[in-house]
Every structure is written in C-alpha cells, then in structure tokens.
Amino acid sequence: MILTVTANPALDVSYRVDRLRPGHVHRIGAVFERAGGKGFNVSRVLHDQGVPTRALGPVGGILGDSLRADLLDAGLPHDLLPVAAATRMTIAVVADEATTFNEPGGPLSAFDWSRLHDLVRSYLPRTEVLVCSGSLPLDAPDESYADFVALAAEFGVPTVVDVGGAPLRAAAEAGVAIVKPNAEELAAAVDDDDPVAGARQLRALGAEAVVVSLGADGLLAATPDGEWRATLPEPVAGNPTGAGDAAVAALADSLRRGLTWPERLRLAVTWAGAAVAAPLAGTVDHDVLRALYNQVDVTPLQSPL
Amino acid sequence: MILTVTANPALDVSYRVDRLRPGHVHRIGAVFERAGGKGFNVSRVLHDQGVPTRALGPVGGILGDSLRADLLDAGLPHDLLPVAAATRMTIAVVADEATTFNEPGGPLSAFDWSRLHDLVRSYLPRTEVLVCSGSLPLDAPDESYADFVALAAEFGVPTVVDVGGAPLRAAAEAGVAIVKPNAEELAAAVDDDDPVAGARQLRALGAEAVVVSLGADGLLAATPDGEWRATLPEPVAGNPTGAGDAAVAALADSLRRGLTWPERLRLAVTWAGAAVAAPLAGTVDHDVLRALYNQVDVTPLQSPL
C-alpha cells in the first residue's frame, strides 16, 4: 500500500469565464469544486490504476468538510485528520489560460503536527512506500517532510517527496529515497539553475535518487544506478496540471514493485503524459496511457556522475 | 423596526494582491471573509446608527454556516432561513482596482420561497419599514420582491426596494413606497437612459417615489412631493461599495420617522458619503457623517413633473 501525505490541502474552486478583465465584475455561470492537494492527486492516479493507496492530510473548518465529502464521493481511501487550522481554498479563473489565487493555508499547531505524525505512524506497518507531496502550511518548519522521511525509515519504508526549496533540501539531507522537484523547485533548493548539477547536488546531500520534471521536455534522473533523460518524441496536448503528480505516482508504484530505473522513468513519463491528456488533475487518459508506453525514449546522460 | 430581506446572500471573500496578472499564479497573504448581501449591509448601517433592525435571508450549505457565524460575530440581529440551495461566494481580487467574480447562487425552490414569505410575514406585525435589497437567486421570478411589497402592504408596512431590471419594474407595478436603483439598474427596467425620464416612468407604473443613485453625482428623486437633486460640493474619497446600501438605510429610517423628502435626501447623501469614507461595505465613518450633513445641497429639479 502506498500512503500519501498532503500537508496543505485545499478546496480547489474553478470558474470558467470568456475573458478575465481586471477591474471588472464577472458573473460566473457554473462553479466547480474539488478536493485539491498534490498527495490526493497521487492517490487518485494510483487508485485509478488499481494500486492500493490511502490519502492522509489535515483538514479543518467548513472547507475541510467539503474536501472530505469530495474524497468520499470519489471513493478514494483516505484518513483525514481534523485540525484547528481552517482548510484553505484555491481559485482558478479559467479562460484561454488559467489565473489562480492560492490562499496560504492556516498554520498547523505543533500539537496537530504531532497528531499527524501519530496518524502516519499508525499506517507505516502496512505501508510499502510513503509519499509526501505539495507545499507546506504557513510557518511550517522546513524539516516537516524530512521528519516523515525519518519516521518512515524507522519502519523500513522508503519515501518519495515532491516539494521545492528548503523543505526539498531538508528531505535530501534526511536520506529520502526519491525526490521529484520541477526545475524551479530544484533551483530554489540548491542555488544552481542547471538541473543536472542541481540533481547531483541533492544526491550529494543525501537523496538516493533525484528525478527532475522538465514539463514537455520529460524527466531527468540522477540515481545510484546511473543518470538518464526520459522523453516523448512529441509533447502531449492538454492540461499539464497534475502531470507531476502522475509521475510521482508512477515512481512510487515502480519503487514498490522493484522496477529498474529505466523502467521507472518510462512509466513516469507515460503516466505524466496520460495525465496531461486527461482534463482533471489526478486523472489519466487510459488510451493515451497504452499508446505512450512504447514511445518513451530513455537515454543515459552523456557525462556520468 | 426596519426589516431587511436579502434574497441572494453571499460569502464575500477578498484577496489583496499587488497586481492582477492574467495567466499567472497569485499567492495570497491574508484572506478576508464577510457575510455579503445588500440587505445585510443596510441592516449593518442601521444597527450602527442605533436604529432597530433585523436582517432576513435564505442560507444553505457550508458557506451558509460561515455567513451565519459572521452575523453573530457582528452582533447584528438576524433570522436566517436554512434552505436547500447552497449559499454562494463572491471573490474580490483587490489591487488598485477590484476585480470580482460573483457566483450566481443556487435557485431557491418554490417551497423555500414560501417559507421565506412565512418568515417575513411573522415579523411584519412588528415592522415599520420593509427593505428588499440585492440581486435575486438564479431562476427567481421577476415578481419575487413585488410579492413582498404586496405582503407588507397587507400589514400597512411600506417597502423600500433596491434591485435592477425587470424585478425593479415589477416592484414599481406593485406600488412600492421607494425604489433606489442606480442609473444602470433603472435603465435596464425602463429602456430609457435618461434617469429623470426613467424615474418618472417608474412612478407612472406605480412606484410612489424613485430615488436614483448617481455615484459621485449624488441622488436624483422623483416623489409625490416634488423632484430634487441632492449632491455634495465635492466627492468623498474612498470605497464606493456599500454607499448605495447606506443611502437605502437612510431612506428607510427617514421614511419610518416621517421626515420630509428634502430631509430624507440630505440624510441619504450624508450616509452614502460616510459609507464611502469607511473601508468596509456596511459601515460608515462617524466623523465624516457629522461633517457632511450641512454640506449637502438639495435643489428642486428645473422642470416639474
């Protein structure tokens, strides 16, 4: 079973408009709401692929109830921890392009952090891979995900972390199995804009493997078994939101199954592409999934570590 | 006691940003939430001015709870009717100017409309003036406020209505005591862009008095006692949201107190100006209130009815 932790969930609200006109009143026709959070998306993809998973996260306030109802509706196994801080909202105003407004999320008290630890701990004996994904709540210590990495290690459970900046660096220092930043998140962690150099730096800090998502340019991986680029011959058209979460789901599942690194990367690029082809984050297009697998090119990097 | 009915309340959420950049992600610092709705704002101003009032409206869903909590916090006398339709949200993104996204509000069932009528009726024996204010819910009949006008008349209670378009026209036809549209709302009701002509047309339809709010240009009134323009020598700086609600509050209170029309208009312009000077809709600046009263110019229109 793959356990996911979303530290800073949100109710994702989206409005479709013809055009966003700053300074004007927009009358919205239909309103779409969804339990948002990167770990939830990872669990949605795994659940859709028949992989046992459970999604954990802290929720509070009235939006927390709404989020819980959405996960119940989706039939996604979850265990949400009621906390004092009110769950935040994100607003996406969608015209030709999306304009988003992300609330910060209330700070989690030290007491609630320790309760979240207890909840994660209670599942670790049954867990094959732990995934910690998405931003941290306001004022959370940079070590918040690193602490989960250490906790999982006590149970012999490897952890995959998807976060940026200082929390990414802390996870590497805690000996995380895999981190999956995008180029920007990686650069914020290592102060080096070159993703290959950045990935190697995170490995030197203690991360076993670093997989960098490069959008339409695929994935770059620095691992104990070698370094690779995994790409598609041409980009998939669609909505890139959630593609990284699908890649994390594939990495966690292939870690669980003991696949080789080239196989893991092939799967990660396939799932990410199939997520781009599906309209909603946390879903994949099954036809595209089948079509892409054999198209992925996995090539060793020229300059070895 | 002045009873206010807000047919389509909303939870008003506002985000402050440095600049609204279409197509970008905006990370929001602080989130402000407030029970929104024009009738609520009218009651807030009356309550602040020591005038007995009670705010009525239908609320539903999780945001309805939040709205109720805000009215409790504010100490505003209210009686909210729990209904099946979920209360809507409005989002205001505030930079130099405000960009707003107004959800439509769920349709109120015929059963819930009749329950709202029963609730209003239960207060009418204790009511001096009824105020119906703000947009109607999705799919509501144009006669929704007109029906309240007729209901109040059964109890000898005069009604003030603040709405635009077809519901405004219907209220006039029902013999409403005062309507307070802005120029745009009036034009949508009468198909005439000239506010003086439009005001006279509404009176001809059955409205006893028509007060048109013209923003910084003050008020225009067509009444049984004559026609007037009421203006300030110079515009008040600040946030015009809620100025119309303060004018409605003043009109309702001066109707209750039996003031002359020139006195009513002086008060309405004063309260509206004091609302512009206060940062939040539903509040007035008390110093500005005192300063403005003697500055208001009330002049009969040149061409009599």
pLDDT of residue B197: 96
| Mean pLDDT within A218-233 | 96
pLDDT of residue B106: 83
A vs B: CB pairs below 8 A: 76
The segment with the largest mean pLDDT, out of A24-33, A89-98, A128-137, is A128-137
C-beta separation of B250 from B274 below 8 A: no
Please check the confidence at residue B60 and state whether its pLDDT lies above 70: yes
Residue of A nearest to B96 (CA): A23
Please check the confidence at residue B261 and state whether its pLDDT lies above 70: yes
pLDDT of residue B29: 86
Please check the confidence at residue A232 and state whether its pLDDT lies above 50: yes
Nearest to B28 among A21, A65, A101 (CB): A101
Give the confidence band of A303 by pLDDT, cuts at 50, 70, 90. low
Residue B295: give the domain boundaries: 2-9+37-87+104-300
- Amino acid letter, A196: V
- Amino acid letter, A195: P
| Mean pLDDT within A235-241 | 85
Structure tokens at A206: 């203690």
pLDDT of residue A305: 46
Chain segment B200-225, per-residue pLDDT in tens: 999 999 999 999 999 889 999 999 99
Run of H or E residues at B33? strand B31-36
Evaluate whether residue A265 is within a structural domain: yes
C-beta separation of B37 from B8 below 8 A: yes
Evaluate whether residue B27 is within a structural domain: no
Evaluate whether residue A19 is within a structural domain: no
Contact A104 B65 (CB under 8 A): no
Q: Could you say which of A245, A253, A287, A297 is catalytic? A: A245
Please check the confidence at residue B43 and state whether its pLDDT lies above 60: yes
Whole-number Cα distances in Å, B62 to A220, B8, B95, B216? 44, 15, 28, 38
Evaluate whether residue A79 is within a structural domain: yes
Evaluate whether residue A133 is within a structural domain: yes
Going by C-alpha positions, the residue among B95, B73, B110, B130 that lies closest to residue B22 is B95
pLDDT of residue B241: 83
* Least confident stretch, A157-166, A197-206, B63-72, B154-163: B63-72
| Mean pLDDT within B75-86 | 95
| Mean pLDDT within B48-77 | 93
Contact B102 A62 (CB under 8 A): no
Q: How far is residue B292's CA from residue A126's CA, in Å, rounded to a whole number?
A: 71
Chain B residues touching A97 at Cβ < 8 A: 22-23
pLDDT of residue B305: 46
Chain B residues touching A101 at Cβ < 8 A: 15, 17, 26, 28, 91, 93
Evaluate whether residue A92 is within a structural domain: no
Contact A65 B63 (CB under 8 A): no
What CATH number did the domain enclosing B273 receive? 3.40.1190.20
Chain B residues touching A93 at Cβ < 8 A: 101
- Mean pLDDT score of chain A: 94
Evaluate whether residue A257 is within a structural domain: yes
Nearest to B20 among A22, A62, A102 (CB): A22
Could you give the number of structural domains in chain A?
Answer: 1
Chain segment A252-261, per-residue pLDDT in tens: 999 999 999 9
pLDDT of residue B32: 87
Please check the confidence at residue A47 and state whether its pLDDT lies above 90: yes
Residue B27's beta-bridge partner residues? A102
- Asked if A104 reaches chain B (Cβ–Cβ under 8 Å), the answer is yes
Contact B22 A66 (CB under 8 A): no
Tally: H helices and E strands in chain A: 10, 15
Contact A93 B104 (CB under 8 A): no
In sequence order, the 6+-apart residues with CB closer than 8 A to the CB of A76 are A40, A43, A44, A47, A53, A55
Residue of A nearest to B92 (CA): A25
Evaluate whether residue B216 is within a structural domain: yes
Between β-strands B88-94 and B98-102, what pairing exists: parallel, antiparallel or unpaired?
A: antiparallel
